[in-house]
Amino acid sequence: MSDRTDNQPSAIDDLVLHAEAYAQTFTSGDLPRIPTKGLAVVTCMDGRINLAALLGLGEGDAHMIRNAGGVIGEGELRSLAVSQRLLGTTEIVVILHTDCGMRTFKDEEFRDQLEAETGVRPDWTPVAFGDVADDVRANVQRVLDDPFLPHKKSVRGFIYDVKTGQLSEVV
């Protein structure tokens, strides 16, 4: 149930109601485990990016891996290795975007703030960054450098413009 005290349903309550209605008409229970497009997409968790609408993807088409900033780190490489080696994907798309919140702070300042507030310094780095195109290239390079990813012929990086909806490839 909701933590709210104003007797208003929470966002989670709304999601649960939607999920109950969704289940009433659900017909995708027989989709294969392997994505039909053989594709894995790594992008930011930003709610302004509607991946399915942007890329024309439906249920079962692709693996979608999201995190703060769309950073390719240890967890994403692990997910991509599972995606390729165990679940049949062969292509990877990295999509970063304009106006990302990860460009609004410096890693050490954020870690200092967390330590000051909690008394504990995080053992992770937020990975804030600057130039979007440079960050796309760096993320694509991390994929290309990973020895556990066997399929690297089709790894491409893009920038999504949150103001115009345009997707531009970074070369």
Q: Specify the CATH number for the domain of residue 102.
A: 3.40.1050.10
Q: What is the DSSP letter of 15?
A: H
C-alpha angle with apex 110: 106 to 114, nearest 5 degrees? 170
Q: Tally the domains of the chain.
A: 1
Entry pTM: 0.86
Kindly report, residue by residue over 10-56, the tens digit of the pLDDT. Answer: 999 999 999 999 999 999 999 999 999 999 999 999 999 999 999 99
SS3 134: helix
Kindly report, residue by residue over 97-143, the tens digit of the pLDDT. Answer: 999 887 777 878 888 889 999 999 988 877 777 799 999 999 999 99
10 in any annotated domain: no
SS3 97: strand
127 in any annotated domain: yes
Domain assignment of residue 125, given as a range:
31-170
2 in any annotated domain: no
